[in-house]
Structure 1
Amino acid sequence: MEPRGMKKWRPFATMPEQYIGLKEIINKQAEVAQPVLTEEQMEQMNFTLIEALHTNKQVYLTYYKKGQCITEKGLIQFVDSLGNLFVFIDEVLELKNKIRLSQLIDVRFV
């Protein structure tokens, strides 16, 4: 006698639209609202960004994107306060990421 293994569950995988819909519902439930920062917090982040840029130190960046708060480790490469954006290179894939300063939640040194 042989075990059926995964054959047993194949009939439930016949409706891929159902799985797509369920995934969208789960993702919507996991979304969080963007935190509102005080002037003091924004000023402290500004000083940390400038210091990290000039000293070339690694930082933990927490930013808001599509309903999620994402934390990454990287180096600040460029800050444009007039253009409301900054560029950082993440540690994992070494890619340049452009993020708006309004999406930034927290900056801390490693």
Structure 2
Amino acid sequence: MEYRGMKKWRAFASMPEQYIGLQEVINKQLEVPKPLLTEEQMEHINFTLIEALHTNKQVYLTYYKQGQCITETGLIQFVDSLRNLFVFIDEVFELKNKMRLSELIDVRFA
């Protein structure tokens, strides 16, 4: 007898192409439609972004990307409403991330 390792637990993923196809089907099922924001929600997001920028407070940013709602923690560094973008530094890797304001769903203070 020969030890097969993790191969025996991946019966449906024996071929790499099949595994990729199954993963795509699973990801498609997990997708959610982009939520629509009201005027009040957009104003609340704008006020919170501006306050976080001036007070240098940490915020929870929830944004929509490729069918998923993602929440990250970070500091707002720059907001440009004319170009519809803002820059934030994430807490984990301390990297600058540039993002569109239209992708934001919610902003809350940490």
TM-score normalised by structure 2 residue count: 0.91
* Partners of 1:27 and 1:66 in 2: CA distance: 10
Unaligned 5+ runs, structure 1: none
Give the percent of matched residue pairs that are identical in Structure 1 and Structure 2.
76
CA RMSD of aligned residues (A): 2.1
User: What residue number does 1:102 align with?
Assistant: 102
Question: Match of 1:9, as an amino acid?
Answer: K
* Distance verdict in 2 for CA 1:15–1:100, change over 3 Å: same
Q: 1:21 to 1:7 in 2, by over 3 A?
A: closer
Post-superposition CA distance 1:20-63 (Å, at most 9, x none): 00000000110000000000000011000000000000000000
1:23 aligns with 2:23: yes
Offset of residue 109 of structure 1: 0.3
User: Structure 2: how far apart are the matches of 1:65 and 1:46?
Assistant: 19
Contact 2:7 2:14 in 1 (8 A): no
Q: Is the alpha carbon distance of 1:101 and 1:7 closer, same or farther for their aligned partners in structure 2, counting shifts above 3 Å? A: closer
- Is the partner of 1:76 in helix, strand or coil? strand
Q: Distance in 2 between matches of 1:59 and 1:93?
A: 15
Aligned pairs (5 A) from 1:21-60: 21-60=21-60
Query: Partners of 1:25 and 1:101 in 2: how far apart?
Result: 30
User: What stretches of structure 2 of length at least 5 have no aligned partner?
Assistant: none
